[in-house]
Structure 1
């Protein structure tokens, strides 16, 4: 094999072994340069990629290369910006060409998308998959292949701005693409309520229900707002039963799991929990890098990697990433260049999460200090009376401040099961709501976390 064939073979193996986000961010944009004196020379576009590959993937890449060619004993990464045909801009400059617009080639099906209430830009093709949303994405693709048969209902939950709406609408768009005859309906819970109120006022509740009974795929966003609305809950309960019994697909999203949605009847909660429940966490750094680069590719912009890394480090949710990126692009269009301090100022103004950055270790330290308890007692699966309350507070903070999944928290705390973690969260929520003393206690702890 020549050097190009060796490197392509290595990349094929690496694409399987590392996450898609990491591969697209750090490995895809590399080229083989030379092989000399046992060294394999690889071209990279910038110093950040060079440093990352040397620190994170040197051993892994070397093992693969050695298996492909026994005379390779080392790797040398060289920055070759000219090789990649990128505009050689400074860290502050930006170039733009004609924007790339994604068109759905559905032909007459575009009318179906409009009638369904879907946004045609929400596609699987532009949905970035990483460890934080892998389960939800896998469940969504399974639903597309066999709607009404697998994972019914599909319940996706997670904090605001992390891609829930994108994913559930992508399901609807893909089903319509594959089966244009299907009746798909996407609606938010508040719009569902508005329509219900209108039907009550006009005496057309039966027509309202019939409209939903005719759907093959019903997608409802933000079902946490069903809480306390008894008539709405009753109508939806009967709609759910009818669709489910007729093998119609139901897809729901919420900012919390069904178990901790308050003020909805158990019969409805059990319906929410009856299929597949998948959570989406906050994206990790590598996935945020991939998201930013994908959005830049879509907008046909070439932005210096130093700025992209800064945004990925400081900004939390996908929605905030997009807002910060759009503002940076607008600033550059007006001014031509941007300084690091100006990037930080944009992040500070637009990103809520940038103002609230903490870690597992910091939260753990503050809990142990606040309750004068040893760290190992909190992290082991042991039942001691004086440990119960501090551990529940720790669980609550990991869930609400770091957006850890229930399973991730369980692993951190000695393998505790899903139901134990959910119970702890609910217990602390109740105490926070019902006890002023505990509210002050928890607020003080939160202040320490972000001090």
Structure 2
């Protein structure tokens, strides 16, 4: 236990050094440099930050890393709380249940209700009957059916999940077991959390257990060590709805035990939903009979997101950020992120979060250049593409819905002139062609006409931020 303020300051100095070494100078300067240690009490670290945004961001994205850095010296640390610091003074941290005190004018302490800090929702009931004080994994309250963005890649999994939840609420079993699989970050955990949320909200009496595979292993190994394995088995067999996430991490005796539990649950018509990163046949750590039982249920894949679904996700997250922080996400930025970040859904969420953070910390408007700079490590690497004037004509024609032959014609109407000028500007910016050559490719125009168009567009970009974003997006699309 590190109790003196001097020792705590020394500890904080060491923790800061570890964080800087782990995340690098730039990230440290952005997120950790302005944090201050207020208190180290029992298993709780209390830090303060100068802005609400920084409090929220650190708590949501770096809590585990900070706790881990403290545990090198203070092994009792398991929790982090970040509060707002105003005029150099941190707001008092919320008291933990064991520490809360009754108000001065309240009844005696023995009858006063403590003011407990909010805790993560855990969907699990009847656990005390097992004799082991078991608990399920924490449920992410943001992962509900309402916040799930459905599209062609995941609509079957989404529909099945809703059907399972509705059946469980009505004491029925539809498909059993249900096995959802995909690569990382495509929404498996979100669907399991959403099922637990929906059933728990509709019928609080339901005995629902959500466990990650490592949590399952931990409980089983602990039960064996305490010679209470029978109580653990009985606890699991009393559940109405069992949700197991990250099945691929289940190993050893706990995998065997899951097989026995699965068989018992299915025989008793209890609902089981499993998520993993590969089909059942590829889970070599499971017994063949278990793989066969999983394969014999409903196996639902989630495929890689297409452009439409990626854009819908980015748009939803951007709308949420706009409602919360009041910043503006131009359509060109939405399109750019959707096209450039192709790995998985978590990276799309992370991309929006980074842009929000960049806007909040630097005051820069959210633009395509800012996105390109901020999201560099999320964007797929690719060789520079040689852009042709013909590619530019096709892109501009499609984007502005102007026939290609009219871009090359002598028509002077505004709906043709502006796209033509933008196309000439892009040809000058993205190709090695000379002005006379560009003029010839645009219907035999003089090089002075091309130069006038380039300068005109450059001025329009300065005067019209939205247009600038639009043209920047066209550039990126042509370079893909």
Q: Which has the higher contact order (CA 8 A, sep 6+)?
A: 1
Structure 2 residue 294 is matched with structure 1 residue 272:
yes
Aligned residue in 2 for 1:198: 222
Aligned partner (choices 169, 172, 178) of residue 154 of structure 1? 178
The reply to whether residue 240 of structure 1 matches residue 262 of structure 2 is yes
Q: Separation in 2 of the partners of 1:336 and 1:154?
A: 47
Following TM superposition, by how much is the alpha carbon of 1:348 offset from its aligned partner in structure 2, in angstroms? 2.4
Q: Distance in 2 between matches of 1:298 and 1:125?
A: 13
| Corresponding residue pairs, total | 246
Deviation at 1:142, TM superposition (A): 1.4
Cα shift at 1:112: 6.3
Inter-partner Cα distance in structure 2 for 1:157 and 1:187: 16
Classify the secondary structure of the residue corresponding to 2:377.
helix
CA distance in structure 1 between the aligned counterparts of 2:374 and 2:160, rounded to whole angstroms:
36
Give the match for residue 332 of structure 2.
Answer: 306
Higher alpha-carbon deviation: 141-150 or 323-332: 141-150
Who is 2:191 aligned against? 167
Equivalent residue for 2:277? 255
The separation in 2 between residues aligned to 1:186 and 1:278, in whole angstroms, is 19
1:169-222 CA deviation, whole Å, 9 max, x = no partner? 101111112221111111110111111111111111112112211211000001
Note if 1:294 corresponds to 2:316: yes
> What is the match of residue 335 of structure 1?
362
Conservation of the 8 A alpha-carbon contact between 2:207 and 2:239: yes
Is 2:234 the counterpart of 1:210? yes
1:32-47 equivalent positions in 2, closer than 5 A: none
Which residue of 116, 125, 139 maps to 1:118?
139
Q: Residues 181, 234 of structure 1: CA spacing in aligned structure 2 closer, same or farther, 3 A cutoff? A: same
SS of alignment partner, residue 187 of structure 1: strand
TM-fit CA distance, 1:152: 0.7
Q: CA RMSD in A?
A: 2.3
Question: TM (normalized to structure 2)?
Answer: 0.49
Tell me the equivalent position of 1:321: 348
* d(CA) in 2 for partners of 1:307, 1:291: 13
- Tell me by how many angstroms 1:339 deviates: 5.1
Q: Is the 8 A contact 2:332 2:368 kept in 1?
A: no
- The residue that corresponds to 2:372 in the other structure is 344
Gapped regions of structure 2 (runs ≥ 5):
1-52, 57-119, 126-135, 384-480
Provide the rounded CA distance (Å) in 2 between the counterparts of 1:233 and 1:144.
26
Contact 1:112 1:176 in 2 (8 A): no
In 2, Cα distance between equivalents of 1:199 and 1:211: 11
Q: What is the SS of the residue equivalent to 1:146?
A: helix
How many Å separate the matches in 2 of 1:355 and 1:252?
A: 34
Give the match's secondary structure for 2:176.
Answer: coil
Are the equivalent residues in 2 in contact too, given 1:136–1:279 (CA < 8 A)?
yes
Q: Report the 3-state secondary structure (helix = DSSP H, G, I; strand = E; otherwise coil) of the residue aligned with 2:204.
A: coil
Tell me the distance in 2 between the aligned counterparts of 1:209 and 1:321. 39
- After superposition, residues 398-409 of structure 1 pair within 5 angstroms as none
Work out whether 1:182 is the aligned partner of 2:203.
no
- TM-score (structure 1 length as normaliser): 0.52
**For each residue in 1:303-326, what CA deviation from the matched residue of structure 2 results, as whole angstroms up to 9, or x when unmatched?**
111111111001121100011110
Aligned with 2:162 (options 137, 141, 148) = 141
**CA-to-partner distance for each residue in 1:267-303, whole Å, 9 max, x for gaps?**
0101111211111112111111111121122231431
**Larger Rg over CA atoms:** 2
Q: 1:127 aligns with which of 126, 135, 148?
A: 148
1:263 CA drift (Å) = 3.2
Match of 1:224 in 2: 248
Structure-2 change in CA distance of 1:174 and 1:204 (3 Å): same
SS at the partner of 2:335?
helix
| Map of 1:414 onto structure 2 | none
